[in-house]
């Protein structure tokens, strides 16, 4: 039931993507920065970082439109990915993008204000036919990467939002703030590997949980491991550090 609900929420978010696209756009952030304003997308990225202090990357599993695309892509290619090289690529892309945003603000003389509806004055991102080109391009990149690389391949390879959440998660953990986590009773584990096989983020859950909780910023709190553990070793819980 939980996984069905999650997939329905992701599908709704994916269907709304033509409306919400600009609020996830790295381009809109740069455009706003060059005008000296924090655009809707930059504000959303910061909000995701703040949310991650308490809820980790639950956004990715429960609400992100591209996460919906990645999730449904598993029906075609469910191969686990090699996370480390993809993380290097992802953080490199993030670094270049962040440099452009910083340069934009620098050239504009700093942050002078906020413009949440920048380039989205009609409240709808794809408000004229030509903008479908961007929309389909974004979809195509995510679909191709997911199908070519494997399980949530685009999330691992290029997502410019996940570093924000990783920063929020690590900061919350470092400060000892109680965070939503997957917690466990390791003594009950039979090492069957079911959690590893189900994890959409290709995490080695069966070893990660052995210290009482899964503590990595790549966990998106989807609950697949919880729902497929035959021994009920795993559950949602709140933990500091
Ligand atoms: S990693 Fe990025 S694209 Fe993937 S679900 Fe999370 S926010 Fe969305
Ligand atoms: S599914 Fe449960 S019992 Fe099996 S390895 Fe994972 S935590 Fe252990
Ligand atoms: S560890 Fe569990 S909750 Fe976290 S991403 Fe993997 S399956 Fe989902």
| Structural domain boundaries in the chain | 2-169, 178-239
Q: Which among 169, 150, 164 has a CA at the least distance from the CA of 219?
A: 169
The residue assigned the tokens 């924090």 is 38
Residues 6+ apart with CB under 8 A from 60: 67, 155, 162, 165, 220
Structural contact between residues 57 and 220, judged by C-beta atoms closer than 8 angstroms: yes
Q: Which among 95, 91, 118, 94 has a CA at the least distance from the CA of 35?
A: 118
pLDDT at 73 over 90: no
pTM (two decimals): 0.92
Ligand 1 nearest-atom number relative to CA 64 = 8
pLDDT at 105 over 90: yes
Q: Tell me, what's the pLDDT at 241?
A: 75
Q: Tell me, what's the pLDDT at 219?
A: 97
Q: Tell me, what's the pLDDT at 236?
A: 97
- Evaluated on CA atoms 156, 94, 58, 69, the torsion sign reads negative
Ligand 3 nearest-atom number relative to CA 214 = 1
Parallel/antiparallel/unpaired status of strands 37-39 and 113-115: parallel
Q: How far is the CA of 59 from the centre of ligand 1 (A)?
A: 8
Ligand 2 pocket by Cβ (under 6 Å): 189-195, 205-206, 209, 229, 231, 233-234
Q: pLDDT per residue over 144-196, tens digit each?
A: 998 899 999 999 999 999 999 999 999 999 999 999 999 999 999 999 999 99
Is there an atom of ligand 3 within 6 Å of 199 CB?
yes
Q: Which among 191, 194, 221 has a CA at the least distance from the CA of 207?
A: 191
Please, what is the average pLDDT of the chain?
A: 94
Is there an atom of ligand 1 within 6 Å of 234 CB?
no
Q: Give the number of other CB atoms < 10 A from CB of residue 29.
A: 26
> Quick one: what percent of the chain has pLDDT higher than 90?
84
Nearest CA to ligand 3 atom 2: 225
Q: pLDDT per residue over 189-226, tens digit each?
A: 999 999 999 999 999 999 999 999 999 999 999 999 99
Q: Tell me, what's the pLDDT at 103?
A: 97
Q: Tell me, what's the pLDDT at 52?
A: 97
pLDDT at 86 over 80: yes
Ligand 3 nearest-atom number relative to CA 205 = 1
Is there an atom of ligand 1 within 6 Å of 161 CB?
yes
- Residue 238: half-sphere exposure toward Cβ, Cα within 13 Å: 6
Structural contact between residues 57 and 175, judged by C-beta atoms closer than 8 angstroms: no
Q: Give the number of other CB atoms < 10 A from CB of residue 5.
A: 11
Q: Tell me, what's the pLDDT at 130?
A: 85
Structural contact between residues 165 and 219, judged by C-beta atoms closer than 8 angstroms: no
CATH number of 178-239: 3.30.70.20
- Give me the mean pLDDT over the 120-148 stretch: 89
pLDDT at 114 over 90: yes
Q: pLDDT per residue over 19-50, tens digit each?
A: 999 999 999 999 999 999 999 999 999 999 99
């Amino acid at each position: 039931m939980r996984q069905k609900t999650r997939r329905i929420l992701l599908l709704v978010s994916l269907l709304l993507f033509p409306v919400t696209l600009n609020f996830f756009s790295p381009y809109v952030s740069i455009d706003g920065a060059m005008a000296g304003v924090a655009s809707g997308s930059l504000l959303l990225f910061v909000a995701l970082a703040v949310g991650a202090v308490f809820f980790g990357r639950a956004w990715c599993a429960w609400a992100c439109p591209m996460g919906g695309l990645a999730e449904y892509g598993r029906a075609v290619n469910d191969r686990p990915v090699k996370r480390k090289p993809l993380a290097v690529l992802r953080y490199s892309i993030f670094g270049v993008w962040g440099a452009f945003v910083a340069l934009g603000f620098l050239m504009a003389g700093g942050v002078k204000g906020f413009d949440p509806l920048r380039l989205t004055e009609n409240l709808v991102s794809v408000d004229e036919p030509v903008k479908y080109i961007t929309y389909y391009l974004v979809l195509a990149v995510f679909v191709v990467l997911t199908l070519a690389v494997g399980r949530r391949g685009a999330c691992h390879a290029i997502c410019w939002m996940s570093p924000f959440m990783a920063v929020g998660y690590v900061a919350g953990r470092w400060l000892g703030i109680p965070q939503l986590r997957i917690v466990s009773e390791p003594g009950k584990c039979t090492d069957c590997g079911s959690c590893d096989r189900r994890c959409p983020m290709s995490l080695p859950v069966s070893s990660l949980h052995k210290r009482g909780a899964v503590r990595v910023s790549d966990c998106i709190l989807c609950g697949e491991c919880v729902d497929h553990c035959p021994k009920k070793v795993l559950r949602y819980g709140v933990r500091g550090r």
